[in-house]
Amino acid sequence: MKKKIFVPVTIVLVIIAIIAGSGYLAINSKLSKIKITKISKNPSDLSINTKRFNTANDISKNYTNILLMGSDSRDPETDPGLVDSIMILTLDKAHNKIKITSLMRDMLIDNIQGEGATAGTTQDRINVIYKQGGGQYSIKAINSNFDMDIKDYIKVDFTHFDKIVDAVGGIDMDVSADEVEVANGYIREAAKLEGTTPPLLTQGGMQHLNGIQALGYSRIRYVGRTDFQRTERQRAVLTQVFRKLYSLNIADATAALDTIFPDVETSLSKTDILSDVSYIVTNKIRTIEQFRLPEDKPGYNYTKMINDTYFLGWDKTLNVADLHQFIFEGDLK
């Protein structure tokens, strides 16, 4: 599933660059709100195949791959939670593009600790990786299963995602009548955690959603094409948030980033962040290509039942080959 879209998704990075233009102290103050975690850069510690990824083929120079994870813990202080949003972000300098590959949360992967239905094995759903061992462990798991060269990660805690939506003034979404009832269940849960009155949706159709309503909508999983459509809702919500950021003035946009940054954890240094931002802004990269694994094609994914528990099976050879073609466009031999 590959499509080309034009959205101002890089506007957050652009705003960072604008702030940086006002001086080191300004950007340092903003970036200091992010939690930076050091991890090993040794390829063997990250399960990077050095026979495929080395300086001889310029892959590391032309392609920067970063693991993106969105956690959904009910109590981040005591539980790291599952990462229900998992993506590979690619800065493709060879073709001047940004690429985003979504990895579906129920995918059954290897080389991790099995839990529950898979206890005693080295398999489980992909969304347990951060909970089991943090950022470096997560990178190692993704690299070993998808034969990738990821060296860094960014994790965002979506517990406060509603505050991010509120910070940009809410978003407009077309919510179907079938989605309303399910969304209201999640809205009640979020409101209870925050000790507020749940702002329930009353009907379907195009409407303006506040933070808690947008959070409830993005969590819908059992209407339509289950998790396949759930990821589409999440991308739609995030796209609207980015568009609202794009329309804000700099003062309001930077205030929104003050809300976002404390929920971000990354292994990237401030220098790395500014370097990538500068490249994106200087080269005016605004077109983003998207891909999703497993692909929704015959033979690429299937239902896998283990101890009466559902997992999303996938053909590794077919999916990884297409992933490499999407990201490296024939440059990886």
Residue 278 pLDDT > 90: no
Which range of residues forms the domain containing residue 42? 2-158+254-328
On whether both 275 and 146 belong to a single domain, the answer is yes
pLDDT value of position 328: 95
* 136 and 264 belong to one structural domain: yes
Tell me the CATH number at 200: 3.40.630.190
The SS3 call for residue 122 is: coil
Alpha helices by DSSP H, 95-196: 129-146, 161-167, 177-194
Same domain, yes or no: 203 and 298: no
Tell me: do 72 and 144 sit in the same domain: yes
Residues 150 and 197 in one domain: no
Check whether 8 has a pLDDT greater than 50: no
163 found inside a domain? no
Task: Identify whether 294 is preceded by a cis peptide bond (ω within 30 of 0).
Answer: yes
Reported in sequence order, the residue ranges of the chain that DSSP labels E, i.e. its strands, are 2-6, 35-36, 63-71, 83-92, 97-103, 108-110, 123-125, 152-157, 171-175, 205-209, 264-266, 287-293, 301-306, 309-314
User: Are residues 78 and 116 part of one domain?
Assistant: yes
Provide the pLDDT confidence category of residue 9 given band limits of 50, 70 and 90: very low
* Statement: residue 4 has pLDDT above 60: no
Domain assignment of residue 292, yes or no: yes
Q: What local confidence, expressed as pLDDT, does residue 81 receive?
A: 77
Does 146 lie in the same domain as 12? yes
User: Domains in the chain: how many in total?
Assistant: 2
Final residue before a domain boundary, out of 247, 264, 281: 247
Question: Do 142 and 75 have their domain in common?
Answer: yes
